[in-house]
A and B are shown apart, each in its own frame.
Chain A
Amino acid sequence: TQLLEQSPQFLSIQEGENLTVYCNSSSVFSSLQWYRQEPGEGPVLLVTVVTGGEVKKLKRLTFQFGDARKDSSLHITAAQPGDTGLYLCAGAVQGAQKLVFGQGTRLTINP
């Protein structure tokens, strides 16, 4: 059973456009992480959100954790070709050490 539904799974847009990736669940998470992965490399941690309603910004990336800590979004403004990659959300279920991963969003930014 997939606890984290990530959408869209594929997204191809032009440079300069904005985009949003969503992660939704019926489960409550004690924390949620967003990662970016390049081909042949391990995922790199972008951000961790812990508090319901929390918003974190990382340059052109804005991360939001839902009030009920069941969902999260990643918004990228003015996307650049360097943003191309696989974006993964992962949630930590309360009381468990392991992470639950979304299916991933393969993002392509065309020059």
Chain B
Amino acid sequence: GAVVSQHPSRVICKSGTSVKIECRSLDFQATTMFWYRQFPKQSLMLMATSNEGSKATYEQGVEKDKFLINHASLTLSTLTVTSAHPEDSSFYICSVRHGHEQYFGPGTRLTVT
């Protein structure tokens, strides 16, 4: 069964609006979650590491004020894309690490019109 869930699976929004994506760890508590984005026919690019109860750690080149991450509980992390633009359209995937393994959610397809 699924270890990580994401909601929504698909979202279309207008340019300038904000979109929130939820990532839930279903099988175990996760003090750390990871957010990736993936462009068509490319590999995954890590955006940020979400830490429960503290600030997220962003990768170089990722705007923390544009991609807001909140890890309020041991099973839920949210990514909010603020003032979305068409270039933010992408496939966003979260993951949870458990021991040596890292499990991924099913992804969220964001389309900004």
Q: Which residue of B lies closest to A4 (CB)?
A: B43
Q: Which residues of B contact A101 (CB under 8 A)?
A: 43-46
Where chain A touches its partner, the secondary structure class is: strand
Q: How many whole Å from A87's CB to the nearest CB in chain B? A: 11
Q: Does A62 contact B (CB under 8 A)?
A: no
Interface segment, B13-21, B66-74, B76-84, B97-105? B97-105
Structural contact, A50 and B43, CB atoms closer than 8 A: no
- The contact size tier of chain B is 20 to 34
Complexed CA–CA distance, A104 and B100 (Å): 20
Interface segment, A41-49, A66-74, A77-85? A41-49
Contact with B along A78-111 (1 / 0, CB 8 A): 0000000000101010000111011110100000
Q: How many whole Å from B43's CB to the nearest CB in chain A? A: 4
Instruction: Using known A-B contacts A88-B43, A98-B46, determine if residue A41 contacts B106 with beta carbons closer than 8 Å.
Output: yes
Structural contact, B49 and A97, CB atoms closer than 8 A: yes
Q: How many whole Å from B100's CB to the nearest CB in chain A? A: 4
